[in-house]
Amino acid sequence: MRLVMKFGGTSVGSADAIRRVTEIVGGYARDHEVVVVVSAMNAPDLRTTDTLIAAAKAAAAGDGNATAQVTPRLLDLHMRVANELVTPEERAALEPEIRAMLDYMSDLSRSIAVLGELTPRALDLFSGLGERINARLIAAALRSAGIDAEAIDATELIVTDDRYGNASPIEPDTRERSRARLLPLLAAKRVPVVTGFIGATRAGVPTTLGRGGSDYTCAILGADLDADEVWFWKEVDGVLSANPKVVPEARTLPRLSYAEMGEMAYYGANVLHPKTVQPLVHRRIPIRIRNTFNPSHPGTLIDAEGDGESVRAITAIKGLSLITVGGPGMLGLTGVAARIFGAVARAGANVLLISQASSEQSVCFAVPGDEAAKVVNELRCELDREFAAHDVEHIGTIAPVVIVAVVGSGMRGTPGIAGRVFGALGAAGVNVIAIAQGSTENNISLVVSEADADKAVRAVHGAFVTTNGGNE
């Protein structure tokens, strides 16, 4: 069985955590082919990636010694772990390698300070350093535990475009490189420990894959290596039916479909980024979400079928603004919707929900709150003539609002689900501002005021998640 496993920043954030990782990997590597993808260390007292990015920005502001000031802390963090988990022989090779990477960043920091500019390309070099260091540390820890392992920079594997900060992988180049580099290691019973989050252009210039990039690396490699399963080791017992901070009785969902996981990820569940699921869906590779700190728990299985139950989970995205464009002249006004969303695109905003009345006299949509003002300005410029002619009479904003998403593939063709949702919200005294449901019927999305958000999630969860531990 071929497994690709990813361990997040907290899962590799301390000596004890990495010791668990070596035990988990060692247990599976005896009988399976295992590829490990790792994030940078997210220690309680030092978040590696955030620290490096802050140093790079400080350098751009003129502090040429910014990185030099943090490199001793980063070296100390990683070598303290090495002192607990790595043999003296391995440490002797590891420490100079880490020092060399940190020294390079210090030199780059001084150059940035002289130029007074931090380019996206340079920022990617800083952003991916934590993964590069940690892959070497974890490979050394595995070898010290008797597990044959090799650190691999994903710059050797993941070929991307040159959109620094949010690069996209290029196929079939990535598949060809990944298979050529990793399959011989697996055949030799060696565990590749691959840096998450980073790739490189065809010219070899390092890039990063954006938000959720380490998970994305794992998914890409799982798909390109034709893995039997891809496992994401997190700090929770799988995917939960709601945020446990809002709904204390939220339950681990034993099984979800790809479609359900995609909806949940898009609408605020923080277990996986939405783009992570896509490479695995195309090849129908099962995903498991498991807990590094509770490895005996089976977690959540995500595959093509799921359980088929009606409502599986309730998620929420906070910090949004709802923008409404309306006027009597919009009825039959050809192309107005295209122009509205063209203006939104020019503002660089991400639209999370759209709702339009059949009368065509208004359209509303939700965007992140910090993007709303720019969107409204673009709309006023775009619709200037329509305002003058009174075809469009208002552009209004309601904020802060929250999208509450009710997710479940079993809602498709099941009468009464929407009625129960709105009944639960009405009983809880929650006013629904806007509604959207796609024809797939995988989710019902509701906009409510941020003040009502937690109450709304609890109400709908209580209406569908039963007291015996299942879902209706």
Q: What is the pLDDT of residues 110-148, one digit of tens each?
A: 999 999 999 999 999 999 999 999 999 999 999 999 999
pLDDT at 372: 97
Q: Which residues are annotated as a binding site for ATP?
A: 6-9
Extract the annotated binding site: 6-9, 49, 131
In a domain, 159, yes or no: yes
pLDDT of residue 360: 65
Residue 273, domain member (yes or no)? no
Domain termination site, one of 173, 206, 235: 235
Q: What is the pLDDT of residue 207?
A: 98
Residue that terminates a domain, selected from 209, 235, 261: 235
Most confident option among 173-187, 207-221, 355-369: 173-187
Q: What is the mean pLDDT of residues 247-259?
A: 93
Residues 1-33: pLDDT tens digits? Answer: 999 999 999 999 999 999 999 999 999 999 999
183 domain-assigned: yes
Structural domain count, the chain? 2
Structural domain including 324 reads 313-464
> Is 267 inside a domain boundary?
no
pLDDT, average across residues 87-106: 97
CA 167/CA 208 separation, integer angstroms: 6
Q: Indicate whether 259 belongs to any domain.
A: no
Residue 117 belongs to domain with CATH number: 3.40.1160.10
The verdict on 8 and 143 lying in the same domain is yes
Residue 28 phi/psi, 5-degree rounding, is -90, -30
Q: Which residues are annotated as a binding site for substrate?
A: 49, 131
Dist. CA 52–CA 374, nearest whole Å: 30
DSSP, residue by residue, 120-140: HHHHHHHHTHHHHHHHHHHHH
Q: Are residues 83 and 231 in the same domain?
A: yes
pTM for the whole thing? Answer: 0.89
User: What is the average per-residue pLDDT within 315-335?
Assistant: 88
The mean pLDDT value for 376-402 works out to 94
Same domain, 19 and 159: yes
Alpha helices (runs of H) in 160-212, residue ranges in sequence order: 173-187
Q: Is residue 400 assigned to a domain?
A: yes
- Domain CATH number, residue 460: 3.30.2130.10
What mean pLDDT comes out for the span 369-385? 96
Looking at 235, 256, 273, the residue that finishes a domain is 235
pLDDT classification of 398: cutoffs 50, 70, 90: very high
Report the candidate in 94, 99, 201 with the shortest Cα–Cα distance to residue 151. 94
